[in-house]
Structure 1
């Protein structure tokens, strides 16, 4: 018995080596995929494990009970002989990994072969082999996680051999030879096959861990590349971005060369060329953008192809985001221009009527009004081609507007400017301040008798420039202030939408925290305030400092 155990453990090393070689093959790795197996994979598994069971038979030791005799190699078998073998290993694993269909079919294949070999235990061993595959599949159905527990698999392999020993005693004849055979081979076969099943499982688990590790490393590499390329592909696929991306791909993937093309035009090329090349398409949902070619030092593996496919999908997603961002910015710019175009000098005709009246009464005032109107209109025309103005430009515009309104209000408007010099270069959306002033004049001073006062305060605080426009007009109730920026008004002169548009432009340009803020009580005037980032500067054309008008 001890001699037989040593021989079987020795042969077990051969079985384990064959198992290790099998796990290196691609079809075996695909067969172990956690996804539901295809018909082809099932047939492949039956053929593999059935063949493995047959190899287990031939790698066994031929045994003769009377007189007791061992033969180290099985080439043929007499009616009085039996085989101490490893057939159960392949069949048990077929049942554990493939279920009833694979386990039963592999058992039928290996068991049928054993019956054809003959010997007084041939029929019993064949039946036991089929039963082993079904038994393993049944155990798997009751314990789905059994394939991750080597000790359980050892017990299943040993139990399958114990079942075989029982069937030999029940079915093999002569009974005396069967009993003698079981007495000599039972323990060695139970131990050897149990250990073999557990070792095979450990090898399979090592393959799975290797796959997981390789996948994790590839995923980590792909994400690292995606993180590095994101900053460059934000602007889309250009010569500059393609150059940076190709260099990143070249270094991270350790390629022989990379080429990025847009149609037939080469945007970037780095390294050399080789016969081992993979070309992937760069595209968005709307159209094909270009191609990227990867040159390898040696033949391309399936894992490398899969990695490149996943990587290019991420690059395509980045290009789609860049395109979507570009479309969003275009739409945002178009909306800002549309909002800006709505803010026109609504008082134009009233001003012209005032000038007509002054020509006879006070020609000098009429000329001054026309000069101010000319500046005002010129500033409005410039704003159609300029998205932003400096605070200095906006104040010039305000002065032109208020000069005209002073004439209409018969000098009842007093304006005070409190402007910090360092704020004059700060940029803000064009035509922002004038409509706020116009709103104060038209609505705040509309029913006010006596002196009308306006205060314009602009100062810097920390990282922001704060702008306050305060009047002593009739003010507004809380309900009115709540609707000023929530929806456009319906006034025929256009002023109803002015504050709404300004608020929306400020938010779209600088963010929600920079929208208009209102403070007012009925009869006590109103203060309109907002802030803009002080770091957003334009170069000032002319120095401009306001002082209070006399």
Structure 2
């Protein structure tokens, strides 16, 4: 028994080494994170099945009391059995991949074991399939409850699965008891020990990756927070110098440079003596990035194409900065050692470029908004509340430490929110679907700040998603409700959005179950600016003015409210606009 145990430990070491090598492949780690869709499941079945097949081929053949130490089994004689680590691979696949992966791997492992032959071929095949079913279901339960399987639990489960295999051998195989006495204890010890080691290793590497992503996301958000005031000023030498110093400080690169389409605007770090702002033209590499609009890397001084003989910079990554779909400049991160340019730096640079491009668009939109003659329209169309942005960034930053995936999704919603602000600032009318995306993005960010506080329901006729309406109208009405309608102690904060066709127009209604509005102020809302502790009513007044300006006096806000009975704000956009121009876009 001792010899068999040592030989099996050698076999499990091989599986652990293979697992360690596989975990260092980025695509495999991505599959473990993804874990949805049939394509991913089938790939995982193929990978984990190869583990079990290797376990079968490297199993130790036992005939009676004789142990045959073959390095690679081609088959098993009818009077022999094998001891192997097959159950370990099936168990890990089920716990990580769920029922489909577990059953698939168990079935393939069982069929392959049956094909090798031997006295225990049938019992091992059946136990393999059962192990896949059981561990897959357990993995599903853990995923459903959002819990993580611990290595200790995996080891205990492995003991039960091997014991199940021993029971199959006892009841199905002739001389089952004598076989069990030989292989049971070594197989239980080695499979449980191997499951513990392999799952510990998998979870450790995945946690390290999540931790690195959290740090990277937090760093990007921190830089974005610091650079926002400067990028809102546009690409100027003053703003870019401040931005470059912030990036240089937080990224640890050897130099940072920012350019427009013609010249260097700022350079901080190594090479500052000859990469001079305003006096140095952009390099050929930067010109190529501006031309194609894609990220490009340089891993030699020749590729950087710096003309200065004593330049210490040997590698660079150049990222395009865009605004409204056009490349207006570049961000360059320099390194004095080409080995320092790793995928981590590339991902960081790419994330910064996207954030910076959004900030530049914000700055450009803000600059354009100042040129608008109507100050009220400007405030409504181009306002971007800095407090809302900073609150959102702080929320996402906090989530980076607890829920990286949720932080990533909120970043996307933040991007949608600002993109809708930018697009709305340039358009008179937008489709209802676009306005609803704006509302959804805003709600996602607010609900992340105040979990389980707000409930928003939409009741919209399907054919109306393409109807045109002024931008920000629904978003501001919903925002107004969330900010002013509810008391801090109200348990259920409900907002409903209704959109439906009504005779010769489309009727819009936003209602809440909040504390209501005092009768004295209700008559003035939407008609004038009303001062109060909670606000001025500017949003409602501006919305009303815009609706009447676009569609006439018949399209005014109707506000109905009762104290402690909620508020309802509604308006109707006519199908035919003034001068006979239609807003209806349903048929197109």
Alpha-carbon offset, residue 75 of structure 1: 3.1
Alpha-carbon offset, residue 55 of structure 1: 1.8
1:78 has 2:119 as partner? no
1:237 to 217, 235, 238: 235
Matched residue, 2:319 = 280
Alpha-carbon offset, residue 97 of structure 1: 1.6
1:304 to 327, 333, 345: 345
* Runs of at least 5 residues in structure 2 that lack an aligned partner in the other structure: 272-297, 301-314, 377-523, 530-537, 539-588
Matched residue, 1:164 = 165
TM-score by length of 1: 0.55
Structure with more contact order per residue of length (Cα contacts < 8 Å, sep ≥ 6): 1
Assess, with a 3 A threshold, how the Cα gap between structure 1 residues 147 and 6 changes in structure 2: closer, same or farther: farther
Alpha-carbon offset, residue 203 of structure 1: 0.9
Alpha-carbon offset, residue 232 of structure 1: 2.7
Assess, with a 3 A threshold, how the Cα gap between structure 1 residues 53 and 212 changes in structure 2: closer, same or farther: same
- Contact kept? 1:63, 1:83, Cα under 8 Å: yes
The answer to which of 97-106 and 241-250 deviates more is 241-250
* Distance of 2:196 and 2:15 partners within structure 1: 12
Matched residue, 2:156 = 155
1:294 has 2:333 as partner? yes
Matched residue, 2:357 = 316
The answer to which of 48-57 and 127-136 deviates more is 127-136
1:195-344 to 2 correspondences below 5 Å: 195-269=193-267, 271=270, 274-275=299-300, 277-285=316-324, 287-296=326-335, 297-298=338-339, 300-331=341-372
* Distance of 1:28 and 1:287 partners within structure 2: 36
- Contact kept? 1:147, 1:153, Cα under 8 Å: no
- Contact kept? 2:59, 2:73, Cα under 8 Å: no
- Contact kept? 1:106, 1:133, Cα under 8 Å: yes
CA RMSD of aligned residues (A): 3.2
Matched residue, 2:483 = none
Alpha-carbon offset, residue 86 of structure 1: 0.4
Alpha-carbon offset, residue 236 of structure 1: 1.6
Alpha-carbon offset, residue 114 of structure 1: 1.7
Alpha-carbon offset, residue 162 of structure 1: 1.4
* Runs of at least 5 residues in structure 1 that lack an aligned partner in the other structure: 336-482, 489-503, 505-550
- Contact kept? 1:274, 1:295, Cα under 8 Å: no
SS class of match (2:96): helix
1:45-84 to 2 correspondences below 5 Å: 45-65=44-64, 67-71=65-69, 73-76=71-74, 77-84=76-83
1:535-546 to 2 correspondences below 5 Å: none
Q: What is the number of equivalent residue pairs in this alignment?
A: 337
1:46-85 per-position Cα deviation (integer Å, ceiling 9, x unaligned): 11100111122233322122x4435263434322221110
Matched residue, 1:4 = 4
1:24-60 per-position Cα deviation (integer Å, ceiling 9, x unaligned): 1112211111x44344422321111001111222333
- Contact kept? 1:62, 1:73, Cα under 8 Å: no
- Contact kept? 1:146, 1:153, Cα under 8 Å: no
* Distance of 2:62 and 2:189 partners within structure 1: 17
* Rg comparison, structure with higher value: 1
* Distance of 2:25 and 2:134 partners within structure 1: 27
1:127 has 2:126 as partner? yes
Matched residue, 1:31 = 31
* Distance of 1:40 and 1:318 partners within structure 2: 37
Alpha-carbon offset, residue 106 of structure 1: 1.6
* Distance of 1:54 and 1:27 partners within structure 2: 22
SS class of match (2:266): strand
Alpha-carbon offset, residue 129 of structure 1: 1.6
